[in-house]
Amino acid sequence: MHCRNGLHPLKATFGLLLVFVLTLTLVTGCDSKPETVQLGGATMGTRWNVTVAPPLNGVDAAQLRAQIEHRLAEINQAMSTYIDTSELSQLNRAPVGEWIAVSPELHEVLLTAMEVGWLTGGAFDVTVGPLVDLWGFGPAGRVAESPSDAALAATMEQVGMQHLELNLAEPLVRRDRPVRIDLSGVAKGYGVDKIAELLQQHGLTNFLVEIGGELRLSGASPRGDNWRVAVERPDALPGQAQLPISLTDAAIATSGDYRNYFEQDGQRYSHTIDPSTGRPITHALASVTVIADNAAYADALATALEVLGAERALQLAEQLELAVYVIVRKDDGFVSHHSTAFEPYLTAVQTNSEQSR
């Protein structure tokens, strides 16, 4: 699971931890219609952005902004590990072995996290925070040297989603060990989905919602066609495109390890931690992009597939019919691969390029 990047009030010191999630870049044009609404602000240690294309159904932009900010504040209050009074912080302090009542929203996010963890053989684990801290990618910052085997073994005892139990009939959670839950690998995507639902409740059908690089797109763009996004090139400055994508009525998320890492004695230590070993990944997968129906699922899956590596990620993508695009690091540069379910998006890129000539 990748380094925790927040659910935290935006601070300049978190800039380096946020860069790697900004691997999806909105491709904008200069032909946006005047009535298009564009809103944005700070949330979850990063930025949120909403673009709404006509028809606007008489929605007032100022009121819409207030509703979005209120909704995001509610989610942050439920799922932040940086707010001491948040629902998640209280759950993490709750007695071990007892069923704890939680909100339907927190229960829903935990269900998504556990589903992705199960589908990926434990590659996604919301209890991995102590390992992230141990390797110097947490709030305390870099460590002087890699941890000892003894320290790693002791920390592994504090980790494991098998120590979480969810009641499927009602929103109850139980821990059989004092594991600490951190939802940074799924909460941004969940926030995207909830803002999309808010827009839909207003009868809005043409919109883009983005939080920290996780995106959900609906209907038509201000140009009247599909929304256009791009997967970032790992070997370029932030914002330079590797692959343009045209899509709508879908969510897309990217996880990558090429911006947040450290080197020690010639060894490269990625911020992406494999929960099964407790160590940073060592394979050559630089980034993985997932297209799915909702952003929470795409967000968590992108993280999990990054842990698995390119070969295992693509094998799982074929088994589950997932739309996945990976960029793999080679000695002489990067190569890309994709799953069968991703091919229609490549075809759409080619079609759009031909039509624009």
Contact 297, 197 (CB under 8 A): no
What is the DSSP track for 103-135? -HHHHHHHHHHHHHHHHTTTS--TT-HHHHHHT
**Beta-carbon contacts of residue 74 (< 8 Å; ≥ 6 apart):** none
Give me the phi and psi of 182, to 5 degrees please.
-135, 125
Q: Which amino acid is at 275?
A: P
Q: Rounded to an integer, what distance in angstroms lies between the CA atom of residue 54 and that of residue 236?
A: 34
pLDDT in tens, 127-148: 998 998 888 877 667 777 788 9
**Domains along the chain with CATH numbers:** 81-175 (1.10.3980.10)
Q: Quote the pTM value.
A: 0.86
Please, what is the average pLDDT of the chain? 84
Q: What is the pLDDT of residues 226-259, one digit of tens each?
A: 999 988 877 655 556 678 889 999 999 998 865 5
Helix 295-308 crosses helix 187-201 at what angle (to 10 degrees)?
160
Q: What is the mean pLDDT of residues 73-91?
A: 94
